[in-house]
Amino acid sequence: MALELSEESHVTEKQMIHNHLRKLLAGKKILIVLDDVWEKNPDTLKSLKAMLRLGADSMVKIIVTTRDEAIAREICHTVEPYKLETLTDKFCWKILKQKTAFKNRVDKKQLKHIGREIATKCGGVALAAQSLGYTLNGKTSDEWESVRDNYIWTVPTPEDPSSKNHEVQASLLLSYHHMPECLKMCFSYCAIFPKGHNIVKCDLIHQWIALGFIEPSTIFDTMQLGEKYVTQLLGMSFLQYSKTPSSDGRRDKGVTLFTLHDLVHDLAAAMLADKVNKKGNAVESSCHYALVTDCSKPLQLSTSSPENTYFKKTFYPFQKRSSTEKIKALFFLNCGKIELRGGAFSPAKCLLVLDLSECFIRKLPSSIGQLKQLRYLHAPRIQDQENPNCISELSQLSYLNLGDSHCISALPESIGDMKGLMHLDLSGCVGISDLPKSFAKLKQLVYLDLSYCKMSISEALGGFTKLQHLNLSDKFTMHTKHIIGHPEVIGNLIKLRYLNLSWCMDVVAPDQINSLVCCISTLSNLEHLDLSCNTGICSIPESIGNLRKLHTLDLSGCYNLKKLPDSMVNMVSLKDLFVEEELTLDEPLLPRLCLIATLCGACFK
């Protein structure tokens, strides 16, 4: 029987949160800022206001920012909303110049007048200026004129054409039209995530790859191209770094989160159109990406809508496919208290991406093994102890996340048959004591997370020469014996960019730790090194100064470390250094580190 959240229990849960807020904030002077509120549903806004009513003795002040005056008036009836002025055209022109590297242009005089006119079309909104500026960077004067005179500025939108949002939407649409086709697909796909959702960078890139949006070139592999596309979308402000923490409890400090501005999300959704369903369990025949709200009920497929010939011709020109075969990505939303049933996804035989991260997974349904084309599977927190052998039938997988499946006791012996597996997350799988021998065959691994696990590390780790991300942080200290005994295993991972060894070396001799750090110091591509919470570290060898690309070094919780090596002045890329207060910094190290890095915790001497 499915575990369903009743209306009564939902109300009780909200009341518990309200009571906890009242208790937490009682007698305190607190300022709460609700930034960029876009929710228009009156019932939701009413619920939010009720949650923030903390009693007459409350000393809590609340500031709400929104683009929509109606929302501002709905939230507060007693205070007149304060209207901030939009940016001046002069300031928009300043943003455009920054984004286009204008000062380095040889044709500045010719472009100046055109650029000023384009700035007037940004509606006084930084987002529009940033996206247009990135689009214009490197373009000729003729192309600048084409942007200025484009018909899009006069095309009516669903909103009032006289509104400022019209100019912003036109700016974003113009930037979108200048994207290459592959980038258009990657961007519009982001509309499958709800507004305000935290998007995990590496997960997003792997979904793009699984769906065939990224094809490897003769120069770059798919991951490198994915990174390039992310950089482009960030430059256009079509992706933004998230300011809020992940809601799924991710522990890894190396996880990068993105979100979409709501106007950008509106654009992506408009481009995706009927390729994504509007939640629920019924999807139209034109749907390629489905978001479902009940993982216990069979997926309902409608055949009423016409075939989408564009997708067919682009991706499968020689196949005639039924509506079930069109669903390529399937996500379940807010199903944490609903037990997963195989029928919820099994009709979609040609799935490439399956995300079960918001489901209650008592046991991984065996029908997953029928999804022969599946390339991306996110199935965390499996409750059953049984070995999930069904995943061994998924030979096309490139991404597998079974994180926090505490009860799983073993992986399939044939897991090594997944020759194309690039991303494997077994973090928190404490029930697995040994990895299968075939694990050594996973030579394509780029990302491996074995944090908070009790398994001993396979000696094959040194053969994973394509690894870029390795997390072995471990409060259970089961990784230590193998790493310390064979430090060259880490030294062989020459492409490594992220390494987390926190909590690994509490009971290890200092000379062994130095030997390991010396091997780490040969990893010339390393950018992020986490050695935190290792009380066994008493000193750091001078060789660490060889890590010229390292931008983050975490030594917090290394309470027996009293001094840093002078060679760290050579770490020219270092931006963030985390150390304990007991550590002192002497000359000549202090001036250099203060110049290049954000220091957290150190005493200066």
pLDDT in tens, 274-293: 888 866 666 777 789 999 98
261 or 303: which leads in pLDDT: 261
**What value does the mean pLDDT take over residues 22-49?**
82
**Is pLDDT above 90 for 225?**
yes
User: Hey, which of 68-82, 269-283, 383-397, 580-594 has the most confident mean pLDDT?
Assistant: 383-397
**Is pLDDT above 60 for 553?**
yes
By percentage, how much of the chain surpasses pLDDT 70? 83
**What value does the mean pLDDT take over residues 532-542?**
91
User: Which pLDDT belongs to residue 308?
Assistant: 39
User: Which pLDDT belongs to residue 3?
Assistant: 38
Residue 308 C-beta-side C-alpha neighbours within 13 Å: 21
Contact 534, 506 (CB under 8 A): yes
565 residue type, one letter? P
Chain-wide mean pLDDT for the chain? 84
**Is pLDDT above 90 for 110?**
yes
> What is the C-alpha to C-alpha distance for residues 264 and 106, in angstroms, rounded to an integer?
33
Q: What are phi and psi of 324, to 5 degrees?
A: -65, -35
Contact 359, 340 (CB under 8 A): yes
User: Which pLDDT belongs to residue 192?
Assistant: 94
User: Which pLDDT belongs to residue 161?
Assistant: 45
Contact 74, 45 (CB under 8 A): yes
**Is pLDDT above 70 for 371?**
yes
**What value does the mean pLDDT take over residues 312-322?**
41
User: Which pLDDT belongs to residue 252?
Assistant: 56
For the ranges 117-131, 299-313, 546-560, the lowest mean pLDDT is seen at 299-313
Q: Is 13 helix (H, G, I), strand (E, B) or coil?
A: helix
User: Which pLDDT belongs to residue 391?
Assistant: 94
Class of domain 187-268: mainly alpha
Q: How confident is the model at residue 96 (pLDDT cuts 50, 70, 90)?
A: very high
Q: Model's pTM, two decimal places?
A: 0.86
For the ranges 131-135, 199-203, 249-253, 562-566, the lowest mean pLDDT is seen at 249-253
**Is pLDDT above 90 for 187?**
yes
Tokens 């890095």: give the residue: 597
User: Where in the chain are the domains?
Assistant: 7-75, 89-177, 187-268, 463-605
Whole-number Cα distances in Å, 588 to 540, 560, 562, 593, 597: 17, 22, 16, 9, 15
**Is pLDDT above 50 for 7?**
no
Contact 392, 412 (CB under 8 A): yes
75 or 321: which leads in pLDDT: 75
Contact 86, 123 (CB under 8 A): yes
**Is pLDDT above 70 for 601?**
no
**What value does the mean pLDDT take over residues 158-187?**
83
**Is pLDDT above 90 for 241?**
yes
What is the CA 34 to chain-centroid distance, rounded?
Answer: 22
What is the CA 157 to chain-centroid distance, rounded?
Answer: 31
**What value does the mean pLDDT take over residues 229-249?**
84
> What is the C-alpha to C-alpha distance for residues 497 and 506, in angstroms, rounded to an integer?
24
Residues near 39 by beta carbon (within 8 Å), at least 6 away in sequence: 45, 48, 71
| Bridge partners of residue 577, in order along the sequence | 553, 599
User: Which pLDDT belongs to residue 281?
Assistant: 64
For the ranges 97-101, 141-145, 460-464, 559-563, the lowest mean pLDDT is seen at 460-464
For the ranges 103-112, 120-129, 483-492, 557-566, the lowest mean pLDDT is seen at 483-492
**Is pLDDT above 90 for 468?**
yes
**What value does the mean pLDDT take over residues 328-342?**
92
Contact 573, 551 (CB under 8 A): yes
| Per-residue burial over 341-365, b = 16 or more CB atoms within 10 Å of its CB, e = otherwise | bbebbbbbebbbbbbbbbbbbebbb
User: Which pLDDT belongs to residue 17?
Assistant: 80
**What value does the mean pLDDT take over residues 214-231?**
92
The arrangement of secondary structure in 463-605, i.e. its CATH architecture, is Alpha-Beta Horseshoe (3.80)
Contact 352, 372 (CB under 8 A): no
**Is pLDDT above 60 for 453?**
yes
For the ranges 7-11, 119-123, 411-415, the lowest mean pLDDT is seen at 7-11
Residues near 596 by beta carbon (within 8 Å), at least 6 away in sequence: 571, 572, 574, 575
User: Which pLDDT belongs to residue 300?
Assistant: 74
User: Which pLDDT belongs to residue 98?
Assistant: 96
For the ranges 19-23, 157-161, 339-343, 378-382, the lowest mean pLDDT is seen at 157-161
Q: Is 104 helix (H, G, I), strand (E, B) or coil?
A: helix
